[in-house]
Amino acid sequence: MDPNPADLLLTGGSVRTVDDAGTLAEAVAIKDGRIAAVGRASDVARLAGPKTRVIELEGQTVLPGFQDAHLHPLDGGLLAVVCNLHETDSADECLDVIARYAGEHPDRDWITGDGWSMDFFEGGNPDKERLDAVVSDRPVYLENRDGHTAWVNSRALELAGIDAACPDPPDGRIQRGPDGEPSGALHEGAMRLVEDLAPPPTQDELEQAFRNAQAELHALGITAWQDAVVTAATLPAYLAVAERGEVTMHVEGNLLWDRTRGDEQIEDLLALRERGNLGRVRIRGAKIFVDGVLENFTGALLEPYVGTDNLGMAMHDAEELVRMVTLLDSHGFQVHMHTIGDRAVRDALDAVEAAQSANGRRDARHHLAHIQLVHPDDHPRFGELDVVANAQPYWAAASRYVNELTLPFIGPERARYHYPFGSLHRAGARLAFGSDWTVSTADPLAQIEVAVTRVEHPNRDTEPLLADEALDLDTAVAAFTRGSAYVNFLEDETGTIEPGKLADLIVLDRDIFDPGAGPIGDARVVLTLAEGEAVHDAL
Ligand SMILES: [Zn+2]
């Protein structure tokens, strides 16, 4: 027996180490929160002592903990507080939930929430009339699933002074009827006109949101997350829970570049970054919205939307983006850019290239999230510039959303490079995966299933979206573990199962690499270890 026995031993399963050689082991031993040994069951068994907890895996799979490279965890945790429309499937269901929520919360001056879907409404645009019919006494502000459009009632429009005479803001659009009157949908920057009037969540609610999200995501096997947008309002909540030692998740945070302000905001971003380092919480990134989304024609395109002369909405012109990225890069920020359309992707890559020539090349790991349309000429540039392709694989399926609200407006030519994750991988791009929760499910296994099938989950009888762009399972698992660890600057400590690394590990109820084990998205995480501590245990 070893004089220094392990605390925990997982044995008799398939241990997918995701290391450089793709080593498949049978057992792993954990001591003081770190991986003490990985290998054959008979070798690792020598580390067992009288007090060692031994878990017989019986064919189950061990993987490194998943790391979500782009999500909105506090929004997810707040769903328990606000009007949650994420489980609905139609406009009528939304209206039922809203009416019930309003009835149960007579004390709330505003009804706020999110989760409706654009495909519930003609042309993607909800109307104020049906909302007025269920709530007319109080303002209502409800964001859609992707957070780029809000549905508001007449009371909210009135409070914000939005009427036929009110012009669109430069970075957004007020949806209007034929008479020019606002019809109830606000896109992009127009959302702020109402959102800024609604009461923000309290610090207590945000701390509770953190706890809710951490528990929910640990249960899905997630051990590190990159919060796409940390603000001066949410940072204190993170620091409070970190101060109390409640954080078991590795948290990377991005500060939002406020497009209504200029370069002088760098001082505020630097001050927030300075404060944002406590325990497992770290602020390293700055987030820039380069464009909007295709469904409301605000995704920035190289050629116009089909049948129009509209090129979408670049939130910053190309020179301005170069200046911002160069400035952030010169201050050591990791720049995380929202890029949907092919013009947004190109402008973002150009900006990184310009920043590298101005500031010199450093280990910056800038990344582009979403990458829905990427022109083939730009595929090799990710690898060349070491820009990480931060993909949301769950969206890469022929859903009603894609078929009705996207494909008709991008046309057949661009449809060939729609979520081109396979091509990016083959062209040498480093892939990281993220859910964009609460935009869509946070479950990494469901997302991995779509990455390898390109078929909608859970509607598995539909056609794949560009089957050539599917990834093999090893690549998809690597993207959600070591790939995201890279973009989180955590790869020295996590992301693979190797001796000396932190024991951020998960156990799945089956071997997802066995084709006979059923759909990948049906697999469940039965154990999640964060630095050796069981933070989810359903064994
Ligand atoms: Zn996002």
Q: Dump pLDDT digits (tens) for 309-351.
A: 999 999 999 999 999 999 999 999 999 999 999 999 999 999 9
Q: Is the dihedral of CA 445, 451, 455, 456 positive or negative?
A: positive
Specify the pairing of strand 53-56 against strand 8-16.
parallel
CA atoms within 13 A on the CB side of 200: 11
d(CA 9, CA 32): 12
Q: Could you tell me if 211 and 77 are in contact, meaning their C-beta atoms sit under 8 angstroms apart?
A: yes
Give me ligand 1 centre to Cα 286, in Å. 13
User: Is-contact 414 311, C-beta < 8 A?
Assistant: no
**pLDDT at res. 2:** 66
What amino acid is encoded at 518 in this protein?
A: G
For 10-53, give the DSSP string.
Answer: EEEEEEE---TT--EEEEEEEETTEEEEEE-HHHHGGG--TT-E
Q: What is the mean pLDDT of residues 504-522?
A: 96
How far does the centroid of ligand 1 lie from the alpha carbon of residue 70, in Å?
6
At residue 400, the pLDDT reads: 86
Per-residue pLDDT at 3 = 74
- Centroid of ligand 1 to alpha carbon of 434 (angstroms): 9
Q: Sorting pLDDT into bands at 50, 70 and 90, what band is 533?
A: very high
Distance 522 CA to ligand 1 centre (A): 25
Categorize the per-residue pLDDT at 1 as very low, low, confident or very high, splitting at 50, 70 and 90: low
DSSP state string for 338-398: EE-SHHHHHHHHHHHHHHHHHH---S---EEEE--B--GGGHHHHHHHT-EEEE-GGG-S-
**Above 80 in pLDDT, residue 125?**
yes
Q: What is the pLDDT of residue 147?
A: 87
The amino acid that residue 455 corresponds to is: V
Asked whether 335 and 325 are in contact (CB, 8 A), the reply is yes
Q: Out of 35-39, 101-105, 122-126, 159-163, pick the least confident.
A: 122-126
Structure token pair of residue 385: 């510039």
**402's tokens:** 């894609």
* Cβ-proximal residues to 115 (8 Å cutoff; 6+ apart), any chain: 79, 84, 85, 86, 87, 88, 142, 143, 144, 145, 438
CA separation for the pair 290, 189 (Å, rounded): 13
- In the reported structure, the alpha carbon of residue 439 is separated from the centroid of ligand 1 by a whole-number distance in angstroms of 7
Query: Ligand 1 centroid to 496 CA: how many Å?
Result: 26
Q: How far is the CA of 438 from the centre of ligand 1 (A)?
A: 8
Q: Each residue of 309-335: b (16+ CB within 10 Å) or e?
A: eebbbbbbebebbbbbbbbbbeeebbb
Q: How far does the centroid of ligand 1 lie from the alpha carbon of residue 257, in Å? A: 14
269 pLDDT higher than 90: yes
Q: How far is the CA of 486 from the centre of ligand 1 (A)?
A: 19
CA of 338 to the centre of ligand 1 (A): 7
Distance from the alpha carbon of residue 306 to the mean position of ligand 1, in angstroms = 26
**Tens digit of each residue's pLDDT (9 = 90 or more) over 353-408:** 999 999 999 999 999 999 999 999 999 999 999 999 999 999 999 998 899 889 99
pLDDT digits (tens, 9 = 90+) for 456-485: 999 999 999 999 999 999 999 999 999 999
Residue 251 CA to ligand 1 center (angstroms) comes to 16
Centre of ligand 1 to C-alpha 414, Å, is 23
- Half-sphere exposure of residue 371, counting CA atoms within 13 Å on the CB side? 33
437 alpha carbon – ligand 1 mean position (Å): 7
Q: How far apart are CA 136 and CA 324, in angstroms?
A: 43
The predicted-structure confidence for 214-254, as pLDDT tens digits, reads as follows 999 999 999 999 999 999 999 999 999 999 999 999 999 99
Q: In the structure encoding, which two tokens stand for residue 129, read together?
A: 């009339």
Taking residues 513-522, what's their average pLDDT?
Answer: 95
Confirm whether pTM is higher than 0.75. Answer: yes
pLDDT value at residue 59? 84
pLDDT of residue 4: 85
Q: To the nearest whole percent, how much of the chain has pLDDT over 70?
A: 100
pLDDT of residue 401: 83
Cα→Cα distances 74→204, 251, 283, 302, 436, Å: 12, 12, 15, 34, 12
The phi and psi torsions of 156 (rounded to 5 degrees) equal -65, -40
CB 147 within 8 A of CB 119: no
d(CA 71, ligand 1 centre) in Å: 6
Span 88-98, average pLDDT? 96
525-530 and 182-188 strand pairing: unpaired
DSSP 481: I
Q: Which of 298, 293, 323 is nearest to 308 (CA)?
A: 298
Distance CA 398, CA 424 (A): 19
Distance from Cα 72 to the centre of ligand 1, integer Å: 6
Distance of CA 516 from the midpoint of ligand 1 (Å): 35
pLDDT category, 489, cuts 50, 70, 90? very high
> Residue 32 region, left (φ>0) first, then alpha (ψ -120 to 50), else beta?
left
Tally Cβ neighbours within 10 Å of residue 278: 17
